[in-house]
Chains A and B, each alone.
Chain A
Amino acid sequence: MGWIAIRMLTGDRAKFIGIVFGLAFASALIMQQGSIFWGLMLRTCAQIYDLRGADLWVMDPSVQFIDDVKPMLERQLGIVRGVEGIQWAVPLYKGNARAKLTFLDKTTGKRVDVTEQVILIGLDDNSLVGEPAEMFTGNLLDLHRPNSVIVDKVGLRKLFPRQGLNLTKTPEEFKSQLVKLSRRKEPAIMSKSIQTNDIPNTKTVDTASEASPVLFEMEMNEHRAEVVGVCNASRTFQSNAVIYTTFSRAKEFVPRERKLLSYVLVKVQPGQNHAEIAKRITQQSGLAALTTDEFVAKTINYYLRYTGIPINFMTTVILGFIVGTAIAGQMFYSFTLENIRQFGALKAMGVGNLRIVGMVLLQAGLVGFLGYGLGVGGATLFGMANRGQNSELAFYTHWYLLLLDAGATMIICVLASLLSVLKVVMLEPAIVFRG
Chain B
Amino acid sequence: MIRWLFTLLSISGVILAVVVVLELRKSPPPTPPRQPPPMPIVDKSPIPSPVSATGVVEAMSENVLIGTNIPGVVAEVLVKVDDTVTLGQPLFRLDDRQSRADLKAAQAKLAVAQAQLERLKNFPRKEDLPPAEAFVQEASARLADADAAWQRAQRLFQRGSISQSDYDRDRYAFSVAQAARDKAVAELARLKAGSWDREIAISEAEILSSQANVESAKVDLDRHTVQALAPGQVLQVNVRPGQFAAQLNREPLLVLGNTGTLHVRADIDEQDLDRFDPKAKAFAYLKGRSDPVYAITPYRVDPYVIPKRNLTGENSERIDTRVLQVIYTLPKTVKRGELYVGQQMDVFIESKPFDSSKSRFAPEVQKPAEVSSQTISKESLKAKSG
Residues of A within 8 A of B (CB): 6, 9-10, 13, 16-17, 20, 31, 42, 49, 52-53, 61, 73-75, 77-79, 81-90, 124-129, 131, 133, 140-141, 248, 251-252, 256, 258, 260, 267, 269, 278-280, 282-290, 292-294, 296-298, 300-301, 304-305, 310, 369-381, 383-384, 396-402
**B366 adjacent to A374 (CB under 8 Å):** no
Q: Which residues of A contact B69 (CB under 8 A)?
A: none
Flag whether B41 is at the interface (Cβ < 8 A).
yes
Closest residue to A84 on the B side, CB-wise?
Answer: B49
* CA of A400 to CA of B11, assembled, Å: 19
> Shortest Cβ distance from B368 into chain A, in angstroms?
5
**A305 with B49, Cβ < 8 A, contacts A279-B363, A283-B354, A399-B25 known:** no
Write 6 A-B pairs (CB below 8 A) sorted by A numbering: A78-B54, A79-B272, A131-B34, A280-B356, A310-B374, A377-B9
Flag whether B109 is at the interface (Cβ < 8 A).
no
**B360 adjacent to A293 (CB under 8 Å):** no
> Shortest Cβ distance from B128 into chain A, in angstroms?
81
Residues of B within 8 A of A (CB): 2-3, 6-7, 9-14, 16-18, 20-22, 24-25, 27-41, 46, 48-54, 269, 271-272, 275, 287-290, 308, 312-318, 320-321, 346, 348, 351, 353-354, 356, 359-361, 363, 365-366, 368, 372, 374-376, 378, 380-385
Q: Which residues of A contact B40 (CB under 8 A)?
A: 81, 86
**A126 adjacent to B381 (CB under 8 Å):** no
* CA of A280 to CA of B2, assembled, Å: 64
**A269 with B38, Cβ < 8 A, contacts A52-B30, A78-B53, A296-B381 known:** no
**A251 with B9, Cβ < 8 A, contacts A53-B31, A296-B381, A305-B372 known:** no
* CA of A296 to CA of B383, assembled, Å: 12
**A89 with B37, Cβ < 8 A, contacts A53-B30, A82-B52, A377-B17 known:** yes
> Shortest Cβ distance from A242 into chain B, in angstroms?
17
**B315 adjacent to A251 (CB under 8 Å):** yes
> Shortest Cβ distance from B249 into chain A, in angstroms?
27
**A79 adjacent to B271 (CB under 8 Å):** yes
* CA of A132 to CA of B1, assembled, Å: 52
Q: Which residues of A contact B271 (CB under 8 A)?
A: 75, 79
The 10 closest A-B pairs by CB, nearest first: A377-B13, A373-B10, A126-B288, A286-B361, A81-B52, A84-B49, A283-B359, A52-B30, A88-B37, A127-B33
**B288 adjacent to A251 (CB under 8 Å):** no
**A126 with B31, Cβ < 8 A, contacts A83-B354, A377-B12 known:** no
**A380 adjacent to B24 (CB under 8 Å):** no
**B314 adjacent to A251 (CB under 8 Å):** yes
Q: Which residues of B contact A16 (CB under 8 A)?
A: 2-3
> Shortest Cβ distance from A277 into chain B, in angstroms?
11
Closest residue to B308 on the A side, CB-wise?
Answer: A75
Q: Which residues of B contact A280 (CB under 8 A)?
A: 354, 356
**A49 with B378, Cβ < 8 A, contacts A78-B52, A83-B49, A374-B13 known:** no
**A297 adjacent to B366 (CB under 8 Å):** no
**A81 with B50, Cβ < 8 A, contacts A279-B366, A280-B354, A293-B385 known:** yes
Q: How many A-B residue pairs have CB under 8 A?
A: 233
**A381 with B16, Cβ < 8 A, contacts A82-B272, A398-B383 known:** yes
**B366 adjacent to A372 (CB under 8 Å):** no
**A42 adjacent to B380 (CB under 8 Å):** no
> Shortest Cβ distance from B285 into chain A, in angstroms?
10
* CA of A55 to CA of B363, assembled, Å: 19
Partner of A402, one of B17, B287, B380: B17
Closest residue to A290 on the B side, CB-wise?
Answer: B366
Q: Which residues of B contact A17 (CB under 8 A)?
A: 2
**A256 with B315, Cβ < 8 A, contacts A49-B385, A293-B381, A301-B374 known:** yes
Partner of B381, one of A73, A127, A284, A297: A297
Q: Which residues of B contact A384 (CB under 8 A)?
A: 20
**A88 adjacent to B38 (CB under 8 Å):** yes
Q: Which residues of A contact B49 (CB under 8 A)?
A: 82-84
Q: Which residues of B contact A285 (CB under 8 A)?
A: 361
Partner of B354, one of A87, A125, A284, A292: A284
> Shortest Cβ distance from B102 into chain A, in angstroms?
47
**B6 adjacent to A374 (CB under 8 Å):** yes
Interface centre among A129, A286, A377 (most CB of B within 10 A): A377
Interface centre among B12, B52, B275, B320 (most CB of A within 10 A): B52
Q: Which residues of A contact B31 (CB under 8 A)?
A: 52-53, 131, 133
> Shortest Cβ distance from A66 into chain B, in angstroms?
13
Q: Which residues of A contact B37 (CB under 8 A)?
A: 88-90, 124, 126-127, 129, 267
**A298 adjacent to B18 (CB under 8 Å):** no
**A377 adjacent to B21 (CB under 8 Å):** no
* CA of A74 to CA of B314, assembled, Å: 9
**A380 adjacent to B13 (CB under 8 Å):** yes
* CA of A126 to CA of B344, assembled, Å: 13
**A399 adjacent to B383 (CB under 8 Å):** yes
**A282 adjacent to B308 (CB under 8 Å):** no
Interface centre among B20, B34, B321 (most CB of A within 10 A): B20
